[in-house]
Amino acid sequence: MSEPIPAIKKFSDLANPTVFLGLTARIVPFLAVATALLFAVGLYLSFTTEGDYQQGETVRIMYVHVPAAWLSMMCYSIMAASALGTLVWRHPLADVSAKAAAPLGAGFTFLALITGSLWGKPMWGTWWEWDARLTSVFVLFLMYLGLIALMRAFDDPARAARVSAVLILIGFVNIPIIKFSVEWWNTLHQPASVMRMGGSAIDPEFLRPLLVMAAAFTLLFFTLHFLAIRNEIWRRRVSAQRRLAARMANREA
Partner 1 sequence: MSHAFYVNLSYAAAVLVVLALTLWTYLDGKAQQRALKELEAAGIRRRSAAHQEEKGQP
By CB under 8 A, name the binding residues for partner 1: 3-4, 18, 56-58, 60-61, 64-65, 68, 103-104, 107-108, 110-111, 114-115, 118-119, 121-122, 220, 224, 227-228, 230-231, 234-235, 237-238, 240-242, 244-245, 248
Distance of CA 186 to the CA centre of its chain: 28
Q: How far is the CB of 57 from partner 1 (least distance, A)?
A: 4
Q: How far is the CB of 81 from partner 1 (least distance, A)?
A: 21
Q: Which is nearer to partner 1, 166 or 244 (CB)?
A: 244
Q: How far is the CB of 165 from partner 1 (least distance, A)?
A: 22
Q: How far is the CB of 206 from partner 1 (least distance, A)?
A: 14
Q: Which is nearer to partner 1, 104 or 151 (CB)?
A: 104
Q: Which is nearer to partner 1, 67 or 171 (CB)?
A: 67
- Between CA 75 and CA 174, with CA 164 as vertex, the angle to 5 degrees is 50
Distance of CA 100 to the CA centre of its chain: 9
Q: Which is nearer to partner 1, 63 or 94 (CB)?
A: 63
Q: Which is nearer to partner 1, 39 or 143 (CB)?
A: 39
Q: Which is nearer to partner 1, 26 or 237 (CB)?
A: 237
Q: How far is the CB of 102 from partner 1 (least distance, A)?
A: 12
Q: Hey, what long-range contacts does 160-167 have (CB within 8 A, 24 or more apart)?
A: 160/95, 160/99, 161/86, 161/94, 161/95, 161/98, 161/99, 162/86, 162/87, 164/83, 164/95, 164/98, 164/99, 165/82, 165/83, 165/84, 165/86, 165/87, 165/94, 165/95, 165/98, 166/83, 166/87
Q: How far is the CB of 248 from partner 1 (least distance, A)?
A: 8
